[in-house]
Amino acid sequence: MKRILFITSTRIGDAVINSGVLDYLVRQWPEAKFTIACGPLAQPVLENTPGLERLIIVRKKPFGLHWFGLWRRVVMRHWDLVVDLRGSAISYLLIADQRKPLKSTKVKMHKVREAAGVLRLDPPPAPKIYLAEEARERALAWMPPGRDWLAVCPSASLPFKMWPATNFAEVVKALVSPGGAMAGAGVVIVGGPGDEDHAIPIINALPDNGVMDLTGKLYLSDVAAVVERARLFIGNDSGLMHMSAAMGTPTLGLFGPSDEMLYGPYGDQCATVRGPRGLEETKTQFPDWRHHPSSLLDDLSVGAVLEAANRLLERTEEK
């Protein structure tokens, strides 16, 4: 029986991006036993992986001591394969038949393709999140069949990635109001704890629609089950955007200072949109963009996002 150690990311979005490689391993060796090391935020993305024997939560410590802690927990086992998508040195310090660490490259490519490169997989396997059926049953109770659902995430991990919530409200209202491409659809808002204020403009724009605000209320795997039921997801560059794409939901990602060629939602059901300023111009105009205190998507118009959403709806099949 194969024993595989899979080391992946701390952040939700990166863990989702890397999940396609894990899914490939699960399908390639269905009888294998997996030990997965990840950060605490990524745990719900990975905890239902088939063949999971052990999930090790790696909490960052000063001076890289978290790596020493992980090494101590895995060093006594002989591994058939170690896949390290953090690109650390740990795989070289273990007894392993095969070691596959992520290596830095100067070639610009989507992060899904970069992760697949550790196993030389081409085409790269799409991200995959395994869910417990209980999560899907809860989502079905919140979002019953018989109508389309529009899922929206107006927040992100950093303020410069966030399109103004008032703009989200205009797009959502245009889509679900009479004459819109999703007229009569239910609206569900998702996000993490602390993101609740970003939902308020959308709720206020649709007082009679019965908007379901689940921001900060759900375990992350329940969020995945919710977005899986949506006809369309619209969100900023965030972990939940990547999660939506991994669940097969038509996903529109809004971009400003981050690069959609590297971090766009992955899959045929996905699209991105940005304003006319462009990536390089944004970074030139705002050299401190990584520390900018407010949105850097101010050049992205409501009309452009609405048009992109309509195009994505037209080319994707009904869920």
Q: What's the pLDDT score for residue 210? A: 83
DSSP-assigned letter for residue 63: G
> How confident is the model over 14-48, as pLDDT tens digits?
999 999 999 999 999 999 999 999 999 999 999 99
Contact predicate 213/203, CB 8 Å: yes
Average of per-residue pLDDT across 261-278 = 96
**Stretch 67-82: mean pLDDT:** 96
75, 92 in Cβ contact below 8 A? no
How many residues appear in the chain?
A: 319
Q: What is the mean pLDDT of the chain?
A: 95
Q: Which helix (H) or strand (E) holds 54?
A: strand 52-57
Nearest CA to 228 among 110, 96, 133?
133
Judge whether 3-119 and 134-315 match in fold: yes
Residue 63 has pLDDT above 90, yes or no: no
Domain ranges (residues) in the chain: 3-119, 134-315
Q: Is the pLDDT of residue 248 over 80?
A: yes
Contacts with 63 (C-beta within 8 Å, 6 or more apart), sequence order = none
Strand ranges across the sheet with 212-213: 212-213, 186-189, 149-153, 232-236, 251-255, 270-274
Query: What is the average per-residue pLDDT within 223-228?
Result: 98
Q: Which fold has domain 134-315?
A: Rossmann fold (3.40.50)
> Residue 254 CA to chain centroid, in angstroms?
13
Local structure of 6: helix, strand or coil: strand
Can you name the residues that pair with 3 across neighbouring β-strands?
33
Whether 319 has a pLDDT exceeding 70, the answer reads no
CB 71 within 8 A of CB 86: no
What is the per-residue pLDDT for 318? 63
**In contact, 181 and 313? CB cutoff 8 Å:** yes
Mean pLDDT, rounded, for 241-266: 97
CATH class in words for 3-119 = alpha beta
